[in-house]
Amino acid sequence: MVAKDTVFTKKKTLNCRGKLLDLSTPLVMGILNLTPDSFYDGGELNTIDAAITKCAKMLNDGVAIIDVGAYSSRPGAEDISEEEELKRLLPYLKELVTSFPDAVFSVDTFRANVALKAIENGAAIINDISGQPHPQPLSKGEGSRASMFELVADLGVPYVLMHIKGTPQTMQQNLQEGKMLNEVMFYFSERLNKLHRLGLNDIILDPGFGFGKTLEQNYELLREFEHFRIFDKPLLAGISRKSMINKVLGTKPENALNGTTVLNTLLLEKGANILRVHDVKETVEAVKLVQRLNSVPL
């Protein structure tokens, strides 16, 4: 367990299009899914007005970052084309940025071209599940484009680096038993070295709960979460309503709010700086209570 007098004290900021986000107090990242097949709220936001309404509620509830995604990363999700991802994303993103000019939007994508267009249309952070440092292929033999690492370094935008084994289509197939912490630590170390050499410093680390891990490995990473502080980077955790909760409690995603809040509270105590969630109000309350607890003089 991280000492109570150190969890919230270290000063960190993220430069999001000129707006500094202060991470000395943990922040809440709200999920805004534009996909028809996400595991919890797929298809919920089928109009721009519905997305604007949900965004307004999250902002009212105290969200700091709104994470917009147009490609489902649930296990076994359909692998849609880049064109389809952009078709889903850009009309919504443009309207959201216009409607909420002071809000900070991140975009959940692993494609460099989608990331570029998102930043050009008002996004401030790239949340990349792939952690892929290599150039990505264009369609059918057109060569390759700059890697995501090169792109975010050129743009100078905050970047979420997540650990994953496989892809959303394959990550829960043929899972390997065994300890996971050292593998994730090496993964972060190797990729941080590449990103630093490219000149990017605003990097957020996400161990990728549920992305190619067994149930035991997910709980190992949660138990050992404070070890990721060694990298001196903001830490993001995304466990909201996931199967690592439901498999233990025998619940479904729609009944997993209580379990989510319990685990998010533990992650706050272990040093999480950003919690990525479906339920903003409840998570903001958890942050306030843990912060209050840790402010009590010893």
Rounded to whole angstroms, the Cα distance separating 255 from 131 reads 31
Q: How far apart are CA 249 and CA 227, in angstroms?
A: 27
Q: Does residue 140 carry a catalytic annotation?
A: no
**Looking at 74, 117, 229, 276, which residue is catalytic?**
276
| AA letter at 258 | N
In CATH, the number for domain 13-293 is: 3.20.20.20
Determine which one of 242, 252, 270, 292 is catalytic: 242
| Residue pair 253/245 in contact by the 8 Å Cβ criterion | no
Give the predicted TM-score (pTM) of the model: 0.90
Question: Mind listing the pLDDT tens digit for each residue in 217-250?
Answer: 999 999 999 999 999 999 999 999 999 999 999 9
Per the CB < 8 A criterion, the answer to whether 114 and 156 are in contact is no
Question: Would you call 276 a catalytic residue per the annotation?
Answer: yes
Mark residue 295 as left, alpha or beta (left: phi above 0; alpha: psi -120 to 50; beta: remaining): alpha
Give the residue extent of every domain in the chain: 13-293
Helix, strand, coil abundance in the chain, percent, nearest 5 = 40, 15, 45
| CA pair distance 116, 33, nearest whole angstrom | 19
pLDDT tens digits in sequence order for the chain, 298 residues long: 444 444 444 558 999 999 999 999 999 999 999 987 554 454 567 789 999 999 999 999 999 999 999 998 776 667 888 999 999 999 999 999 999 999 999 999 999 999 999 999 999 999 999 887 666 654 444 444 578 999 999 999 999 999 998 666 665 677 788 899 999 999 999 999 999 999 999 999 999 999 999 999 999 999 999 999 999 999 999 999 999 999 999 999 999 999 999 999 999 999 999 999 999 999 999 999 999 999 999 8
Angle subtended by helix axes 112-120 and 82-99, to nearest 10:
20
CA distance 222 to 199: 30
